[in-house]
Amino acid sequence: MTIEDLIEEFDDLGDWADQCEVLIDMGRDLSNMSDNLKTEDTKVHGCQSNVWMVAEVKSEPLRIELTADSDAMLVRGLLSVVLMVYSNRSPQEILETDVRDIFSRLGLDRHLSPARKNGLSGMVTRVRAIAAEAVGLQS
Amino acid sequence: MTTDMSQRPPFDVEAVRGDFPILNRPLESGRHRKGKPPAFLDSGASAQKPQCVIDREREVEEQFFANAYRGVYYFGARVDEELEATRSGIAKFIGAESTDEIIFTSGTTMSLNLVARAWGGKFLEPGDEVLITEMEHHANIVPWQMACAERGATLRWLPLTEDRRLDMSRLDEFLTPKTKMLAVTSMSNVLGTINAISELARRAHDVGSLICVDAAQSVPHRMTDASGQHNEVEPVDFLAFSGHKLYGPTGVGVLYGRRDLLCEMNPFLGGGHMISQVYRDHSTWADPPAKFEAGTLPIVQAIALGAAVEYVSGLGLDRIHAHESQLLGYAHEQLATISGLTIYGPDLEHKGAICSFTIDGAAAEDLANLLDIRGVFVRHGHHCAMPLHEVLGVQASVRASFGVYNSCSDIDRLVDGLQFALERLIVAEK
């Protein structure tokens, strides 16, 4: 499924309860992060439930691979949207994309608490900083 | 003071709910399928306001608002009168000896910080101990940590029993002649545990310690008797609570303090109204309560808190307690039908109108989010009690807390909502 497919599906559903179910299903399908990666360093602050994120820079082609996890299924669903947008993308693609626009096209911005949005912003800032650094190394 | 319950009409929860406009409006958020009113189960965080409180705030703003204790003109004088009437109503409500012992603050947090700083800052010495308990809210932990660090005193923690009550059998170990302050909640905001404040006060006084009670959770549910005059209980020295948990406005709370202590301790904030004289090189203080009321008070909110106190007194704390006990019993019974659900806290006899729980395999945040879809409003997280959650061995819990307007149908909606959530979170996994 591409992000455009998901936006279309959310648009068709229209109802937050149904959208929630889709997010929970996506959360269930997200692979678990191994426990040894869940450290203070990988923890995303500003989240109500625990959220962890690891970003690895891979080469040939240069891309950033993301892994993320949470205790809460709905949050895992949101993380899988973030991963869909950012993981395995080149640093340039990441810098050109703002997942917050996608969240707003999904209509999720209306349903996310400010605390959740802050947590999300923290993740986006981190991913983009890593991307910017990778671009810098490349040039 | 006590009222014979048989002489009063039975508690009519539907009529009470009718007093709260927000609970009678269908939800219109776009996130809720049917336009039902909410099942509001988060009064432990902040209660809804009855029409009389809303009207009172509006009346002050529309008819006679002015700053307090400053103007001789009609509005100013009227505001002063209303504030003093509220102060006196609160003194009566919590069993204070005099209205001078009632200080308006911004809420429980400020009240407790006031005691820790203005009393602790003067009277705590190196080697002294402050005793708190494992069930405290952060507002009754952090101010004492700060005061102890500043004064070289030691903070000690009274442990809990297996059923999450204070371990009174170990009190002597922790409450000693070194203890200068016992800071304790009268009702846990997570467990609902009701603590034996009179006994704790007596034991504290026996070793020469003072007792400061965080009464934020208990004041809306049970009779408070700060000076011990009404029920022949041991008096407490300080007692703090918030307006917004008592069906009053936000931004206003109360600190009760024994008059002699208030006179001896340092002021808290410096500014207007709290002084007697200001010289170039020093100032002298006004008498309490003014000594602790620097700056402009939350005037409108404080006056409307008076209306909330009247409202609660009108319903009768004895009847409120009976209603909520019945509700709590029903909640325990119904929640027990959900497999994998654990309620934290003691048995019904020892707790107030709070149910905190976890369900195996379901994150608290997911449960709260899915309950919201069904219009059931609960809180999730650590409820500002991280050390307690560490003792419980869980990171987060879901909390349903009850107020005068809740009925058994709210609990039915909670249980239905949990089934709905579990079908999505767990059953689909199989």
- The pLDDT assigned to B109 comes to 98
Domain residue extents for chain A: 3-138
Cβ–Cβ under 8 Å, residues B376 and B39: yes
CATH number for the domain running over B54-314:
3.40.640.10
User: Do B5-46+316-421 and B54-314 have matching folds?
Assistant: no
Q: How many angstroms separate the CA of residue A91 from the nearest CA in chain B?
A: 33
Determine which of A77-91, A124-138, B75-89 has the lowest per-residue pLDDT on average: A124-138
**DSSP string covering B310-351, please?**
HHHHHH-HHHHHHHHHHHHHHHHHHHTTSTTEEEES--GGGB
CATH of domain B5-46+316-421: 3.90.1150.10
Q: Residue B356 has which token pair?
A: 């905190």
Residue of A nearest to B374 (CA): A17
- Coil, helix or strand for B384? coil
DSSP label of B104: E
B363 near A CB under 8 A = yes
Are the beta carbons of B317 and B222 closer than 8 angstroms?
yes
B53 to each of B33, B37, B310, how far by Cα in Å? 31, 20, 10
Q: Which fold has domain A3-138?
A: Sufe protein. Chain: A (3.90.1010)
pLDDT score for A138: 61
| Domain edges within chain B | 5-46+316-421, 54-314
Supply the mean pLDDT for chain B: 95
What are the structure tokens assigned to B44, written together? 């432990």
**Yes or no, beta carbons of B30 and A16 under 8 Å apart:** yes
Question: Is B384 part of the annotated catalytic residue set?
Answer: yes
Kindly state the average pLDDT of the residues B169-186: 98
Q: How many Å apart are CA B415 and CA A74, to the nearest integer?
A: 20
Least Cα separation, residue B35 to chain A (angstroms): 14
Q: Which of B263, B355, B384, B408 is catalytic?
A: B384
Q: Which residues of B touch A73 (CB under 8 A)?
A: 363, 366, 425
What's the rounded mean pLDDT across residues A42-63?
Answer: 84
A121/B127 Cα distance (integer angstroms): 46
Q: Where are the beta strands (DSSP E) in chain A?
A: 51-58, 63-70
Instruction: Give the per-residue pLDDT at B2.
Output: 47
> Which one of A43, A48, A50, A116 makes the best mutation probe of the B interface by having the most chain B beta carbons within 10 Å?
A48
Distance between CA atoms of residues B202 and B102, nearest Å: 22
Residue A48 is nearest to which of B32, B365, B429, comparing CB atoms? Answer: B365
pLDDT digits over B106-140, tens only? 999 999 999 999 999 999 999 999 999 999 999 99
Residue B1 has pLDDT above 50, yes or no: no
Across the interface, do A73 and B396 touch by the CB < 8 Å criterion? no
pLDDT at A47: 60
pLDDT digits (tens, 9 = 90+) for B18-55: 999 999 999 987 778 767 899 999 999 999 999 999 99
CA distance B194 to B304: 28
